[in-house]
Amino acid sequence: MQHTFEDFKFNKQLLNAIAEAGYSTPTEIQKKAITPILAGQDIMGIAQTGTGKTAAFVLPLLMNLKYAQGNDARALILSPTRELAMQIEEDIQQFSTYLDLRTVVLYGGLGPKTQIENLEKGVDIIVATPGRFLDLYLEGHINVKSLKCLVMDEADKMMDMGFISKIHRILEVVPRKRQNLLFSATMSELVRKIAGDFLAFPTIIEVSEQATPAATVHQQVYFVPNLKTKLHLLQHLLKDDESFHRLIIFCKTRTIADNVFAFVERKYGKEQVRVIHANKGQNTRINSINSFKEGNVRILVATDVAARGLDVSNVSHVINFEVPIITEDYVHRIGRTGRAFNKGIAITFCNEAERYYFRKIEKLMRQSVDVEAIPADVFIEETPYLERQMIAKEIDMQKRKEDPDFKGAFHEKKFVIKQNEAKAAQRAGGYRSNKQGAKGSTKRNFRTK
């Protein structure tokens, strides 16, 4: 088994770039994947995020391509999100410092003019999201005849995001004779299906049990009754700015992300925090991520749009302000910390309705998470009526999923009574106004009612 990058017989240019990037020891997936990729084998890699899998396919790819050649791409790397596409392209630039390979990154959310111009200058590697790649291919800006290698990264996320038809369309147009590399953190049924269409007799590389978080991440969970108490607990934790020196707070929805951002901004000032989600413009998202990477911003609030492919070193903590409904997303979220042999801490805030999803997460990971008590000086708010009703409704729905005969503890009787009272009042109001009106119009009003 290889213990240094020299053992892979990389050329001097590549070894110098690896050393300058600060890498000395290959990670588990790099040890297992680089040699078969260099040999031209098809690979199916099951590896959780934060294990160094980008370098596991980028390094042998650069070694195989070596230098610029012709005008058309010889390698295509598909990514589910623009953030991950940009991250992969950044890694390629870093490792190809002393190679004259040309890389173009393609993604939606902004006009294609610059991307088309970059393609026309000549390209060796295309990193792209499936939609933008297909658009530019169908418009005649991309020639795929020279493609020798196709990489699909985060295949599970691609399937979750509904890219399966686009992937099939891409597989129809690229040359049959090519090397295929597929990487995924989990093996869902859809990933198995696409792997069957995509790979013939692949070398299967699994660096840990499926959906197992990196061993360097210490996980904790707090059972917190409601939103306001979650905010109090967050404020309590953030007081320790020495430990919590760089953290990402994950939320399920844009609304909650914006609320958490507003709360943190009010407490710590706008220079300390940024928020990214699908409603934010592309440039805003890029600038926020860069500020966070460069250490200018301590806290990043994000929805799952940023959970994958956001490679920032020394993230001390990930806080799941809400438990994700898609259990695999938990692994991707907490994989933002504890990267490249560093230690990290992942903390989850879980209300009564979220326990159901958290149990599923523990089952998926085949491990239980340490439960922490809410500190004594955190004020525990009483759960407001509407939030209480929403939690009760959610728990009923979960119980019905488990047992279709379950009748439900949550009753909407009060709502129905209130609704009926409102209707009765409306009718009474209508009757009174009719009586006050002209006598001759009474019959007509009763008829229209």
12-69 tens-digit pLDDT? 999 999 888 777 788 888 999 999 999 999 999 888 766 778 899 999 999 999 888 9
Residue 356 falls inside a structural domain: yes
Q: Is residue 153 domain-shared with residue 300, that is, in the same domain? A: no
Burial state string for 122-158 with b = 16 or more CB within 10 A and e = fewer than 16: ebbbbbbbbebbbbbbeeeebebeebbbbbbbbbbbb
Last residue of a domain, one of 147, 171, 206: 206
For residue 429, what pLDDT is reported?
A: 56
Residue 423 falls inside a structural domain: no
For residue 409, what pLDDT is reported?
A: 60
Torsion angle of the four alpha carbons 331, 334, 338, 341, in this order, in degrees rounded to the nearest 10? 10
Residue 176 falls inside a structural domain: yes
Spatial CA neighbour of 289 closest among 302, 304, 270: 302
**Residue whose pair of structure tokens reads 């009753």 in the numeric block:** 411
Q: Is residue 167 domain-shared with residue 225, that is, in the same domain? A: no
Q: Is residue 171 domain-shared with residue 313, that is, in the same domain? A: no
Residue 393 falls inside a structural domain: no
For residue 247, what pLDDT is reported?
A: 92
Last residue of a domain, one of 383, 414, 433: 383
3 state DSSP class of 173: helix
For residue 398, what pLDDT is reported?
A: 84
For the chain, the domain total comes to 2
With 0.75 as the threshold, say if the pTM is over it: no
List the domain range (segments joined by +) for residue 284: 217-383
Q: Is residue 177 domain-shared with residue 226, that is, in the same domain? A: no
Residue 212 falls inside a structural domain: no
Q: Is residue 159 domain-shared with residue 269, that is, in the same domain? A: no
Q: Is residue 45 domain-shared with residue 90, that is, in the same domain? A: yes
Q: Is residue 276 domain-shared with residue 325, that is, in the same domain? A: yes
Domain containing 377 — which CATH number?
A: 3.40.50.300
Last residue of a domain, one of 182, 206, 230: 206
For residue 426, what pLDDT is reported?
A: 59
Q: Is residue 152 domain-shared with residue 228, that is, in the same domain? A: no
Phi, psi of 126 (to 5 degrees): -110, 130
Q: How far is CA 225 from the centre of its chain?
A: 26
Residue 441 falls inside a structural domain: no
Q: Is residue 190 domain-shared with residue 313, that is, in the same domain? A: no
Q: Is residue 269 domain-shared with residue 370, that is, in the same domain? A: yes
d(CA 191, CA 160): 9
Residue 282 falls inside a structural domain: yes
3 state DSSP class of 300: strand
For residue 367, what pLDDT is reported?
A: 84
Residue 18 falls inside a structural domain: yes
Give the pair of three-digit tokens for residue 325. Answer: 């409904």
3 state DSSP class of 289: helix
**What is the strand order of the sheet 273-276 is part of?**
273-276, 299-302, 247-250, 317-320, 344-350, 217-223, 370-372
Question: Concatenated DSSP letters for 218-243?
Answer: EEEEEE--SHHHHHHHHHHHHT-TTT
For residue 214, what pLDDT is reported?
A: 65
Helices (H) and strands (E) in the chain, counts: 17, 14
Phi, psi of 283 (to 5 degrees): -65, -40
Spatial CA neighbour of 309 closest among 79, 33, 84, 99: 84
- Per-residue pLDDT tens digits of the chain, which is 449 residues long: 457 888 898 999 999 998 887 777 888 889 999 999 999 999 998 887 667 788 999 999 999 998 889 999 999 999 998 888 988 998 899 899 899 899 999 998 888 999 999 999 999 999 999 999 999 999 999 999 999 999 999 888 888 788 888 998 999 999 989 999 999 887 777 788 888 878 878 888 887 655 556 677 899 999 999 999 999 999 999 999 888 988 999 998 889 999 999 999 999 888 899 998 867 776 787 788 888 888 899 999 998 765 555 667 778 899 999 998 877 678 878 887 876 667 889 999 999 999 999 998 888 788 889 999 999 999 999 999 999 999 998 898 888 877 777 766 655 555 555 556 656 665 655 544 444 444 444 444 434 33
Q: Is residue 202 domain-shared with residue 225, that is, in the same domain? A: no
For residue 329, what pLDDT is reported?
A: 76
Q: Is residue 236 domain-shared with residue 342, that is, in the same domain? A: yes
